[in-house]
Amino acid sequence: MNDTNLYRTNPSLIIRDDFDDFAILFDPHSGKAFGLNPIGELIWKSLKNEGSIENILQQIESDCCNIPETAESDVLAFIDKLENHGLIGRRI
Amino acid sequence: MPDTACSYRLKLSNGQGWNILSDEHNRAWTERFASILNLSTVTSDEESFMLTFVRNQKDKSEGSPGVHIEVPANLNRKASVFTMWKSILPIYKQAIMAKGVPIHSALIEHDKKGFLLAAPGGTGKTTCCNRLPTDWNAHCDDETLLVWNGEDNSYKGHPFPTWSNFYLDRPPWDWEVERSLQVNGIFFLQQSKVDSIEYLGQGKSAALIYQASSQICRRIWNELDSGQSEELKKHLFTLAGDVARQIPAFILNVSLDGMFWELIADASASAERLRS
């Protein structure tokens, strides 16, 4: 299992979560905006607080129902996407 | 020294005012600028920002307040239009500081309600404006300055010129920059074979409003250092979010021969009913 403590959120990003559809993560450097559904928002905020994959999965279990068996791999795939967009980086 | 005989005032509906002045060399140029914006020669004792056109930045008087824009002698037509276009930016900047947002959009009106048609160049803003029936009005087809009015907690749109008309020898419009309209809906245009409309959630709307604003504001941040530019982008994104929470927004798929304005009127009426 990957350890999310290896990751760090890009400190220049801002998140706005008071909309009626998505939370929006905004990168002022590129000017790009990314929509986050509630699970994406939960993962982002957890990464920001240096939460581990275990923490994220526990939180999903406590907040959500009908959790798919693929939850862990879905979370890891999402984290990969965040990394590919430069929204998080690996700690060195 | 400013030529006090050549003084114009631009008053926005959020209360911000500008005194637009010229030095003795730029009187004709300033008159042309003011006539494009439909400004009148009004002097005001009200507290206003100052925008002065000078021949040379070195000529500005010591301690002279406000923004000074250099207008060199013998500008060719393109350079002259470019300088006018640039002269609007300080006005946009001050509006942004007061929660305003410049948007790459047309401003249209029906039943005293304002609507924005937002899209990148070449999508069809001008075509849509030209196709409106007679009970609709188009106030501008390219740039609208949305200003926030704290007194009634509303956003009003001011029409600004389409500067490319002057490059491309298109007929100028009658841009009444001081005129404002409460904006009741933002419609993001997309070309389509069939007209249709879809409501946008606030998050998606915020992202699109930011994008439509950045198409104008990149002129501002291109002149800033990277730190200042990022701060301005963050501020603008926050403002775009505030607009998205207040004004309903839609994707408007527009064909060349449909009656898209009926979709706008219906969507606006539905949004109003939902609010009440």
pLDDT tens across B137-174, in order? Answer: 999 999 999 999 998 999 999 999 999 898 888 887 88
How many angstroms away from the CA of B29 is the closest CA of chain A? 36
Å from B104 to nearest chain A CA?
16
* pLDDT of B270: 92
The total number of residues shown for chain A amounts to: 92
Within 8 A by CB and 6+ apart from B218, the residues are none
Residues 213-232 of B with CB under 8 A from A: 214, 230-231
pLDDT at B276: 76
Please say if the pLDDT value at position B182 is more than 60. yes
What pLDDT score was predicted for residue B167?
82
Q: Which residue type occupies B184?
A: N
> For residue A1, is it within any domain?
no
Q: Check: CB of residue B96 under 8 Å from CB of residue B82.
A: no
CA closest to B236 among chain A residues: A28
| Residue found under tokens 């501002």 | B220
Domain of residue A28: give its range: 6-91
Place of tokens 């005194």: B19
Mutation test of the interface with chain B: which of A19, A25, A29, A30, choosing the one with the most B Cβ atoms within 10 A?
Answer: A19
Across the interface, whether the CB atoms of B202 and A19 are under 8 A apart is answered: yes
In a domain, A22, yes or no: yes
- The answer to whether the Cβ–Cβ distance between B237 and A35 falls below 8 Å is no
Nearest to B230 among A12, A19, A33 (CB): A12
Higher pLDDT pick, A8 / B102: B102
Residue A18: φ, ψ to 5°: -110, 30
Residue of B nearest to A14 (CA): B234
Within 13 A of B108's CA, how many CA atoms are on the CB side? 28
Tokens of A6: 């290896």
The two three-digit tokens of residue A48, written as one number: 């920001």
What are the Cα distances from residue B270, in Å, to B109, B137, B205, B248? 17, 21, 17, 10
**Helices vs. strands in chain A: H and E counts, helices first:** 3, 5
Nearest by CB: B241 against A16, A21, A31: A16
Chain A positions in Cβ-Cβ contact with residue B203 (cut-off 8 Å): 16, 19-24, 35
β-sheet bridge partners, residue B106: B117
- Nearest residue on chain A to B202, alpha-carbon basis: A19
Task: Judge whether residue B1 has pLDDT over 80.
Answer: no
Is A44 a member of any domain?
yes
Residue B253 has pLDDT above 60, yes or no: yes
Q: Which of B201, B233, B234 sits opposite A20 (nearest CB)?
A: B201
- Predicted confidence at residue B179, as pLDDT, reads 96
CATH number at residue A81: 3.90.930.60
Contacts of B274 (CB under 8 A, 6+ apart): none
Q: What is the pLDDT of residues B57-83, one digit of tens each?
A: 776 666 667 899 999 988 898 899 999
Element containing residue B266 per DSSP (H, E): helix B260-275
How many beta-carbon pairs under 8 angstroms link A with B? 54
Residues 6 or more apart whose CB falls under 8 angstroms from that of B67 comprise B49, B50, B51, B52, B90
Q: Does residue A40 lie in a domain region?
A: yes
**Residue A57 belongs to a domain:** yes
Contact (CB<8Å) A22/B210 = no
Distance CA B116, CA B108 (A): 6
Residues of A in contact with B207 (CB under 8 A): 24, 33, 35
pLDDT at B256 over 70: yes
pLDDT value for B207: 96
- pLDDT of residue B21 exceeding 80, the answer is yes
Average pLDDT score over chain B: 92
- Residues of chain A numbered 21-80 and touching chain B (CB < 8 Å): 21-24, 26, 28-29, 31, 33, 35
Q: What's the angle, vertex CA B8, arms to CA B7 and CA B9, rounded to 5?
A: 130
pLDDT by residue for chain A (92 residues), tens digit each?
A: 455 467 889 999 999 999 999 999 999 988 899 999 999 999 999 998 887 888 888 989 998 888 999 999 999 999 999 999 999 988 77
pLDDT digits (tens, 9 = 90+) for B208-239: 999 999 999 999 998 899 889 999 999 999 99
When pLDDT is averaged across residues B191-211 and rounded to a whole number, the result is 97
Q: Does B206 touch chain A (CB under 8 A)?
A: yes
Indicate the helix (H) or strand (E) that contains B107.
Answer: strand B101-110
Q: Which single residue is written with the structure tokens 């923004």?
A: B67
pLDDT band at B2 (very low <50, low <70, confident <90, very high): low
In the predicted model, is pLDDT for residue B6 greater than 90?
no
CA distances B157 to A40, B60, B83, B114, B177, Å, are: 35, 33, 23, 7, 9
Contacts of B80 (CB under 8 A, 6+ apart): B29
Cβ neighbours for B259, distance < 8 A, ≥ 6 positions apart: B195
Q: Is residue A34 part of a domain?
A: yes
* Amino acid code (one letter) for B87: S
Structural domain count, chain A: 1
Contact B142, B125 (CB under 8 A): yes
CA distances from B222 to B99, B132, B226, B233 (A): 21, 35, 9, 11
Looking at the domain assignment, is residue A15 inside a domain?
yes
Q: Of residues B273 and B12, which shows the higher confidence score? A: B12
Q: Does the distance separating the beta carbons of A18 and B245 come in below 8 Å?
A: yes
- Interface check for B250 against chain A (CB to CB < 8 A): the answer is no
Is residue A67, in this structure, part of any structural domain at all?
Answer: yes
CA gap B135, B2 in Å, rounded: 44
